[in-house]
Amino acid sequence: EKDMAAIESAVAELLRLKEQLPSDHPMRPENVKAAAAAKAKQKKEQVSAAKAARKQDLKQKLDSVARPTIQRKIHHLLQTQGAGDEFQYAGPVLAEGFADWGGKPVYVTEKWDGTTVQATKDGVFKRIDNFRKGASAKRGATEEDRYRLELLDLDSEAHIKQAVEPYLSVFQSLDVGLCVYAEALGPGMGGGRHVAQRTQYTLRVFDFARDGKFLPFRQVVELAERYKLPTVGYSLVDLRAEEVYQELATAETRGRRYVDAPPGFEEEPFEGLVLRPGWADGSAAKARVDLIRRTP
């Protein structure tokens, strides 16, 4: 207690002496505080200026490289109804644009909840939505108006960097005109609550495009094997809308998980499917678990 009292007395004496310093003396308490604030402000401005300069450099680089095709918007395989919170599938019926797929062979691929990235030999890119979430204007917008492409500064995208870093040398070895599309997976990447519980990073390839044209999924698999890139799980089946609907409707009760899930993702809740023609066509359609009707 005596030691504490002595310390408190010494601190009080130091403060008294500082108060006797001239008003412009750097050791006066208010001047020490102001100097610290000015230093912090300067550092913040330097960081902001460095980020702005880096962003400008990336924009100039994006303008100078062959710009890849932006990841397309994938439409729903099944007919939908309602809007907002009431938006859901109307039942096991193919949407109008996919009605002729019925009975034909399709690749059923697994849809992961992550951050979509795309890469060429020139860098890693990300599709940016020009509209805020839920904006009504986006419904009538063309893909050109709705999205833009940004070249990523991976040093500023820590999560994405950890997912793609093991494959950067592979991306740099891609043929000219070839673009790979993948879902980057890891903590904080995705919209579900479960993403916060992730501890590992990886990616899963789901598309390739060559010279601006999306390739049939068979070629996607062949290219992934050639470049030793991991793909989403897939199977080739004859399309039946009822079977797709049932797969989604029973996913939760069956405890459906991903095929060949990477380490750390074995218990990841199943999000849905993306279906791709088994014939020479690069189109695709999606089907999500959360859009199944929960009431008759």
Residue 296 has pLDDT above 70, yes or no: no
pLDDT higher than 90, residue 249: yes
Q: Considering the entire predicted model, what is its pTM?
A: 0.80
Q: Which residues contact 167 (CB under 8 A, 6 or more apart)?
A: 119, 203, 229
* Confidence class for position 49, pLDDT limits 50, 70, 90: confident
Inter-CA distances, 223 with 91, 123, 206, 218, 260, Å: 36, 18, 11, 9, 19
Question: Is 287:271 a contact under the CB 8 Å cutoff?
Answer: no
The predicted model gives 53-62 an average pLDDT of 75
Structure tokens at 81: 């109804």
List, for residues 175-231, the tens digit of each pLDDT value: 999 999 999 999 989 887 788 889 999 999 999 999 999 999 999 999 999 999 999
Query: Is pLDDT at 280 greater than 90 in this prediction?
Result: no
- Quick one: pLDDT at residue 2? 64
Can you state the angle between helices 29-64 and 2-19, rounded to 10 degrees?
80
Mean pLDDT of 76-100: 94
